[in-house]
Structure 1
Amino acid sequence: MLPYWRLSAYYFFYFGFVGAFSPYFTLYLQSLSFSATDIAILMSLMQVMRILAPNLWGWLAERLGMPVTIVRFSAAASLAGFALFFFTESFAGIFVAMALMSFFWSASLPLIESVTFAHLGGQGHRYGSIRVWGSVGFIAAVLGIGYALDHLPIASVLWMTALVLGGIMLCALWVPDAVRAPLARVQASMGETLRRPEVRALLGACFFMSAAHGALYVFYSIHLVDHGYGKALVGWMWTLGVLAEIVVFLFMPRLMRRYTLRAILLFAFAAAVLRFVLIGWGVDSLAVLVFAQLLHGATFGAYHAAAIAAVNLWFPGKLQSRGQALYGSISFGAGGMLGGLLSGLTWDVIGPAWTYTVGSLFALAGLLWLYRGWHPGVGPNAAGKGEE
């Protein structure tokens, strides 16, 4: 029997942590008088660990054959690492705490994804109904904490986030392991796959897309608060983006039947070019910000769904787990790290508007690489659009 609610609860708290941590922890760091560069360095550790940890923990889980055990250990260890934030306000101390927490926290998602699909078996189409609870968890956390911080000191974000991490740990104990089907044999090697220009174009474009989002994930909340918006509204703005993402996820099966993956990705990159210019230069207009947040449905929802689909098709069988790890490391890891660090260096030098413009240029670079490197009619198709 599919442990639907156990898996859904894990996703709820896992992405609830993202909703608690990403929008508000930067405000806590700002309250400690850290510079924009310091904040970017500290937040970039999340991306650094997303380069290193998933591959290491995935290899260990494969060798030991105990992915759920590692998920449980990582949940407890990430909570222990986070607890160090309560005992230090120095840059060095927070750096160590962030590194430890990120190293263990980033280990679990690829493993829980594999556990989920192992439980689903031939019911892979039900994945979306489980994963959507992660978006619900994000919304609950970002809205609840946003309202709470309008009445509580910013330091209280530590206690609220720690409670969410505790929820992850409890849910990890509740998730059962699953019997795994043997992986199919494939003829193509990893080297042969990576030599294909369309594969390199996709991975390179994904690197630039994550880099384009760097300033958003590090400085968006600070950007809004500095322009007079309340923390509750900040929470609603983050929520609006996730709601747009949910709607797009629900409609992706129809979109993939009608349009090629390449076309969906090109649209998503074009939307990102526009979105970050709007955030940088239109921050004084709530209407502009709302429209920019609705574009999150394209710049993350459609982009991620199409990219994951392409990677799944290009890296079949035994290559699949390595392909997904490579996609995550190159995009969310390396690309996110570059975008976050660079935004920290430019924020106080050229200002927020131009920093977000740099993000738009990253998206434009990804758009051009994808357009020129992945030619129409090449690569995985989207429901009979003529690609092979």
Structure 2
Amino acid sequence: MINRTLLPYKAFYFFVYAAMAAATPFFTLYYESLGLSGRQVGALAALPPLLTFLAAPLFGFLADLTGKPKRILVISISSVVLGIFALTLADTFWGLILAVGFYALFFAPILPIIDRSVLDALGENRDQYGKQRLWGALGWGVAAPLAGSLVDQKGLHWAFYTSALLFTCLLIWAFFMPVSKPAAKEPFWLSFKKLMGSWPVVIFFGVALGGGIGLAMIHHYLFLYLAGLGASSSVMGWALTVGTLSELFVMGLSGQLLKRWKARGLLLASLIFLSLRFFAYAVITEPGWALAIQLLHGPTFAALWIASVAYVAEIAPLGLRNTSQGMLTGFVMGLGSTLGAIIGGVLYESIGFAQMYLWAGVGILLLIILFLLGCRGRC
């Protein structure tokens, strides 16, 4: 039976990820088309995750403090549309820094606010979060190839026009969509002090950061590694397809997985699979094996994210759920992505891709041990 109260959130996930897929894969191509240097392209690519780390918790904090998350959501989506149009007008490095920074700053709170609203709407059925979130993966899967075809026919600017149109539709949708307000049972600052002083919170966010670093080392460098092994463009395309299907499969089963293993168990399982994924990448000599390894994308990325969202919902005080979800986004997709890109770049230049993935696998194993020792019944 269809739960009609969840349909607005499914649609929101679909369109927000479709809007992202229409433009974000083409950002670096756009920078290069303007004649920017490699260092300038790298600086622009590093800016969004860095701002996500800073802005997602800050906006979540403001949403909880003011009790007006919907207003912040609407302002953020409106600003993202303006940021996209600013990108199409900027033609200098510093102009792009301002446009990309504006875009990334206001995109940061959108997903954490919606994640929190979805969890509140699910109530005791929070283990069904993945079934809502998988609509985002579907939106990405539908929009990415269509945007690629449009760019081939019309040019790079059309990727941004399409994204702006989808974000505008999302803005209209957000006006009518229910967004949860904080339901604090104690003063805001007292809840914040308890959250920041909680040992399970410290351990969890450390583990989330480590997982984000590991996933970023795959995201940023896998295709470079496969290209070095002689992979064709079709192999890389199929690798993306296999990864997306694996992600959808795990998200569809997320309810059963969380009921069986709980959030902590699923988080540990995702880290174990992530370590195995690294070791598998380290030993392959033929790029075709990457297709099989990409089946682990779901048990690593999707499982880690679903478990993390569920775990944050368990440990966060009622009046700090936007703040906590913002912190999760900031650590995994912000700081984790930035550090993963930097650490991965240093390692592959010094020891090569295979050794980089080997030591990344060892690092994740150490992270698992630290998680188990640090918790010992307290997490």
TM over 0.5: yes
Supply the AA of the counterpart residue of 1:264: L
Instruction: From the superposition, tell whether residues 88 and 217 of structure 1 become closer, same or farther in structure 2 (CA, over 3 Å).
Output: farther
In structure 1, C-alpha distance between the alignment counterparts of 2:131 and 2:21, rounded to whole Å: 19
Residues 270 and 367 of structure 1 are in contact (CA less than 8 Å); yes or no, is this contact kept in structure 2?
Answer: yes
Residues 143 and 235 of structure 1 are in contact (CA less than 8 Å); yes or no, is this contact kept in structure 2?
Answer: no
Which residue pairs with 1:367 in the alignment? 365
In structure 2, C-alpha distance between the alignment counterparts of 1:305 and 1:370, rounded to whole Å: 18
Tell me the number of residue pairs that the alignment of Structure 1 and Structure 2 aligns. 373
In structure 2, C-alpha distance between the alignment counterparts of 1:27 and 1:160, rounded to whole Å: 16
1:315 aligned onto 2:316 = yes
Give the deviation of 1:85 after TM superposition.
Answer: 1.9
Normalised by the length of structure 2, the TM-score is 0.81
Residues 265 and 307 of structure 1 are in contact (CA less than 8 Å); yes or no, is this contact kept in structure 2?
Answer: yes
Question: SS state of the match for residue 108, structure 2?
Answer: helix
Supply the AA of the counterpart residue of 2:117: V
Instruction: From the superposition, tell whether residues 202 and 379 of structure 1 become closer, same or farther in structure 2 (CA, over 3 Å).
Output: same
Supply the AA of the counterpart residue of 2:256: R
Residues 64 and 323 of structure 2 are in contact (CA less than 8 Å); yes or no, is this contact kept in structure 1?
Answer: no
Residues 201 and 374 of structure 1 are in contact (CA less than 8 Å); yes or no, is this contact kept in structure 2?
Answer: no
Instruction: From the superposition, tell whether residues 34 and 343 of structure 1 become closer, same or farther in structure 2 (CA, over 3 Å).
Output: farther
Supply the AA of the counterpart residue of 2:171: M
In structure 1, C-alpha distance between the alignment counterparts of 2:113 and 2:333, rounded to whole Å: 16
Question: SS state of the match for residue 200, structure 1?
Answer: helix
What does the per-residue CA deviation read over 1:26-58, in whole Å, with 9 as the maximum and x for residues that have no partner?
A: 333344454554333212222122122223322
Gaps of 5+ in 2: none
Which residue pairs with 2:183 in the alignment? 182
What does the per-residue CA deviation read over 1:304-361, in whole Å, with 9 as the maximum and x for residues that have no partner?
A: 22223333333343454443333332232212121234445667x459x52x754663
CA RMSD in angstroms, aligned pairs only? 3.6
- Specify which of 74, 80, 83 is matched with residue 81 of structure 1: 83
In structure 1, C-alpha distance between the alignment counterparts of 2:361 and 2:369, rounded to whole Å: 12
In structure 2, C-alpha distance between the alignment counterparts of 1:2 and 1:166, rounded to whole Å: 23
Gaps of 5+ in 1: 381-388
- Specify which of 14, 19, 22 is matched with residue 12 of structure 1: 14
After TM superposition, the structure 1 = structure 2 runs for residues 1-388 of structure 1, keeping only pairs within 5 Å, are: 3-121=5-123, 124=126, 127-149=129-151, 153-154=155-156, 156-177=158-179, 180=181, 182-184=183-185, 199-218=201-220, 229-230=232-233, 236-259=238-261, 261-276=263-278, 285=287, 287-343=288-344, 349-350=349-350, 354=353, 357-358=355-356, 361-362=359-360, 364-375=362-373, 378-380=377-379
Instruction: From the superposition, tell whether residues 221 and 21 of structure 1 become closer, same or farther in structure 2 (CA, over 3 Å).
Output: farther
Which residue pairs with 1:385 in the alignment? none
In structure 2, C-alpha distance between the alignment counterparts of 1:121 and 1:274, rounded to whole Å: 34
Question: SS state of the match for residue 18, structure 2?
Answer: helix
Instruction: From the superposition, tell whether residues 145 and 98 of structure 1 become closer, same or farther in structure 2 (CA, over 3 Å).
Output: same
Give the deviation of 1:204 after TM superposition.
Answer: 1.7
Supply the AA of the counterpart residue of 1:27: L
Question: SS state of the match for residue 24, structure 1?
Answer: helix
Supply the AA of the counterpart residue of 2:366: L
Supply the AA of the counterpart residue of 1:29: Y
Residues 79 and 165 of structure 1 are in contact (CA less than 8 Å); yes or no, is this contact kept in structure 2?
Answer: yes
Supply the AA of the counterpart residue of 1:247: F
Give the deviation of 1:153 after TM superposition.
Answer: 4.2
Supply the AA of the counterpart residue of 1:137: G
Instruction: From the superposition, tell whether residues 320 and 25 of structure 1 become closer, same or farther in structure 2 (CA, over 3 Å).
Output: same
Residues 17 and 164 of structure 1 are in contact (CA less than 8 Å); yes or no, is this contact kept in structure 2?
Answer: yes
Residues 19 and 162 of structure 2 are in contact (CA less than 8 Å); yes or no, is this contact kept in structure 1?
Answer: no
Residues 278 and 361 of structure 2 are in contact (CA less than 8 Å); yes or no, is this contact kept in structure 1?
Answer: no
Question: SS state of the match for residue 25, structure 2?
Answer: coil
Give the deviation of 1:148 after TM superposition.
Answer: 4.3
In structure 1, C-alpha distance between the alignment counterparts of 2:192 and 2:97, rounded to whole Å: 35
In structure 2, C-alpha distance between the alignment counterparts of 1:124 and 1:205, rounded to whole Å: 21
In structure 1, C-alpha distance between the alignment counterparts of 2:370 and 2:304, rounded to whole Å: 18
In structure 1, C-alpha distance between the alignment counterparts of 2:118 and 2:111, rounded to whole Å: 10
Give the deviation of 1:11 after TM superposition.
Answer: 1.2
Question: SS state of the match for residue 336, structure 1?
Answer: helix
Question: SS state of the match for residue 95, structure 1?
Answer: helix
Question: SS state of the match for residue 89, structure 1?
Answer: coil
Instruction: From the superposition, tell whether residues 358 and 195 of structure 1 become closer, same or farther in structure 2 (CA, over 3 Å).
Output: farther
In structure 2, C-alpha distance between the alignment counterparts of 1:221 and 1:76, rounded to whole Å: 34
In structure 1, C-alpha distance between the alignment counterparts of 2:30 and 2:221, rounded to whole Å: 12
Give the deviation of 1:107 after TM superposition.
Answer: 1.9
What does the per-residue CA deviation read over 1:204-259, in whole Å, with 9 as the maximum and x for residues that have no partner?
A: 222122112324444556776886644x7755533432321221122233333444
Residues 270 and 300 of structure 2 are in contact (CA less than 8 Å); yes or no, is this contact kept in structure 1?
Answer: yes
In structure 1, C-alpha distance between the alignment counterparts of 2:169 and 2:232, rounded to whole Å: 30
Residues 198 and 373 of structure 1 are in contact (CA less than 8 Å); yes or no, is this contact kept in structure 2?
Answer: no
In structure 1, C-alpha distance between the alignment counterparts of 2:191 and 2:65, rounded to whole Å: 21
Normalised by the length of structure 1, the TM-score is 0.79
Residues 8 and 177 of structure 2 are in contact (CA less than 8 Å); yes or no, is this contact kept in structure 1?
Answer: yes
